[in-house]
Chains A and B, each alone.
Chain A
Amino acid sequence: MSEPELRQDDTALMARVASGDEDAFRMLVERHQEAVFRLAYRHLGSFADAQDATQDTFQRLFEAAKRYRPEAGFRTYLFTIAARICLKRKQRHDHSRTEPVAPSMLDCQKTALAGSGPEDILARKERQTAIRRALDDLPADQRLALILLRYEEASCEEIARILGRTRGAVHSLLYRARSHLAILLRDLDSREVDA
């Protein structure tokens, strides 16, 4: 299904959700839960928090269905809700740090790591943890803007809508995020080269 068809379809589903159609809501959840969960997990760095944020996002979506106007794309609307929930959650639990890379995560990557020795797996785990620490080191709004650009392939206009900022402010956020991250990750690469 092409992007405009998908968007139109999402809009039609939202209209059905507004009239209380739970099947339409289920279809929207099944279609978008992975993207919302990924965004939340990358931003919050915790599996449990990402689950809660995803549930809260769809709960809000359901409640807001009657007020939904398809001016922006559905995905932008959904990510706007998710971003607000993630930012609020991060603000509330600012003391909590990113959890270490779970063994289950490495289980998920077994296919990719097939044939690798324990040292390779350990090295990969350490690298992933270091990357996530670097992401976690960014202020919440910079991190969210970067995640949207890097992983969700959102445009600057879309990020501006999602974060409720101007386009210029998003340019500035991304500049600060990427310059900071370039330094942090250059250190990581140089440590790996030394090792």
Chain B
Amino acid sequence: MSTSCRAVQELLCAAPPGTALAPEAAAHLATCPACRAFASDDARAWQTLEDAPVLPPPRDLAARITERVSQRHARPPARPWRALATGLAAAAAIATGILWGAWIGADLAPTDHASSVPAAPEIAYAEVFDATPPGGLDAPPESIGRLP
């Protein structure tokens, strides 16, 4: 198939059979047996497609479509009592939170407990690195001391 045959056949297929072609394409078609055979087969197939099955839409389709759309896009009905109840519940929850927080905060706040805390016990130390280990028979009594 030459390039011009393909171009002419594409033009033939871009419109229903019998549509007027550009003069150059019409001249090619008149003299090209391959393109004439193509056009003939195409016209027959086009005619055969007339018998392709088709059904009308169901009778209630339009009603179903409009109902579906109006259901999906319907605004929710106004319910002022519901908004009020929601607002009150939210306010109560916030207030409870604040009070609870204040109570816990007061419980954890630092207070002056210094006087009630017992003094740290005095820790005795031993000069363990003495040449003579503590408890030895010759340990001098002054090596047992107290922390400053």
A-chain residues with CB within 8 Å of residue B54 when the two chains form the complex: 38, 41-42, 105, 151
Nearest B residue to A172 via CB reads B10
> A182, B57: Cβ atoms under 8 Å?
no
Contact status of A182 and B44, CB under 8 A, knowing A29-B66, A128-B53, A174-B13: yes
B113 adjacent to chain A (CB < 8 Å): no
A79 adjacent to chain B (CB < 8 Å): no
Q: Is the interface of A mostly helix, strand, loop or mixed?
A: helix
Contact status of A182 and B42, CB under 8 A, knowing A22-B70, A172-B10: yes
B-chain residues with CB within 8 Å of residue A188 when the two chains form the complex: 48
- Number of B residues whose C-beta is below 8 Å from A? 34
> A186, B45: Cβ atoms under 8 Å?
yes
* Size range of the chain A interface in the assembly: 35 or more
B-chain residues with CB within 8 Å of residue A59 when the two chains form the complex: 65, 68-69, 72
Contact status of A34 and B51, CB under 8 A, knowing A29-B62, A55-B68, A182-B41: no
B residues contacting A by CB (< 8 A) are 6, 9-11, 13-16, 38, 41-42, 44-46, 48-49, 51-58, 61-62, 64-66, 68-70, 72-73
What are 28 residue pairs bridging A and B, where the CB atoms are less than 8 Å apart in the complex?
Answer: A22-B70, A26-B62, A26-B66, A29-B65, A42-B52, A55-B64, A58-B69, A59-B68, A62-B73, A104-B55, A129-B53, A131-B51, A131-B52, A135-B49, A135-B52, A149-B15, A151-B52, A156-B14, A174-B10, A175-B6, A175-B14, A178-B13, A179-B9, A179-B38, A179-B42, A181-B45, A182-B45, A186-B45
